[in-house]
Structure 1
Amino acid sequence: MTTLKFILDDLQQAKVLVIHPRDEDGAALVDHLKRLGCDVKAVWPMPASIPSDVDAVFVQVGESSAEALAPLVENVAAAIIAIVTYESPTSLKAIADLNAHGVITKPLRQLGVLTQFALARYRYSYEMRLANKVRKLEDTLKGRRTIEKAVRILTELNGLEEEVAYRQIRDQATAKRIAIVSVAESIIAANDAMRAFGMKISKPGKS
């Protein structure tokens, strides 16, 4: 019950943009979404851009509009629900190019709109969670490479063992209450500055 309530609350609070001709189907879709409690705005013809604050976009996919749609929704942070008149290779390709999170067919019926809307919102949310995990993993790997580079600099500069060099970086980060990667970045920046002035790092015992 809690999950169902969360889904319904999410849909009711959504800001929705409907890109559809101003005909009977378009009006019926807008009215249905408003009855669900959504904040709905309908536009036609195809807008030059999509507002950044929308949570979902219902958009009619036609053979003539497919090419224009892809760049329009490419960077939109919203669930995309494609509306198709009939199945064809062109419309299927358009759905794929849009990376649509849901699909509804015409003539539009109330039955199925809520399901596809909920599915699209779930799929979009799931994609965002995956993207966040990927970004965190990339940041972690980038930070690890930065620390490894700083450790190599310290081993060359002071002839330290890698474990000792890493411990120095960690201890300095702890003392300053900053991230280890921040200390590593400062070491790398200092090393780059020295090299920019033609100063070479020499190992102990060498001039």
Structure 2
Amino acid sequence: MAEASRGRPKTKIVCTLGPASRSVEMIERFLMAGMNVARFNFSHGSHAYHQETLDSLCVAMDKTGILCAVMLDTKGPEIRIGFLKDGKPIHLQKGQEITITPDYSIKGDENMISMSYKMLAEDLKPNSAILCADGTITLTVLACDKESGLVRCRCENSTVLGERKNVNLPGVIVDLPTLTKKDKEDILKWGIPNKIDMIALSF
């Protein structure tokens, strides 16, 4: 028994099937290279789009004779930068200070931007980090005004910030639902009908 289990893989190779990797031919190559879990990223794409990809995966499995599990990765709750004046990106300089407001109706500029999380001033504290645009922009919290909801920050790197970029608050337990309405619809209307094997919850 020990000899038999020694040759059995104990890890999984998870591959995301996206725009450049969803053709039958490409999926066949993934399967031949060892992919045994196909990740479907529901942060992007419609149910019809993901269904086409799943159909291609099924064809590739039939052609290669290799089985592969299906993972639905939910979009999960998110915090985003608000819109910017004239829709133009803003230039941030290392060391400059900028104010963040939870008022999402405000169109941002180099002095103030909005974020889609009402509890920023409540949940953050001086020296907390705010990561924007997939972590390419780092802000350090200087002060939080719970009454106004404003958060004063310092930019830690010089960069360009576009509107609607994603935001992460490392070490902060955000007051957002683990499963959003969209997540539930994706699971109930696509995942369950397709008998997917696993769900990855983004949070």
Interval of TM-score (by shorter of Structure 1 and Structure 2):
under 0.3
TM-score norm. by structure 2 comes to: 0.23
Considering fraction of residues, name the structure with more strand: 2
Higher relative contact order (CA 8 A, sep 6+): 2
TM-score when normalising by structure 1:
0.23
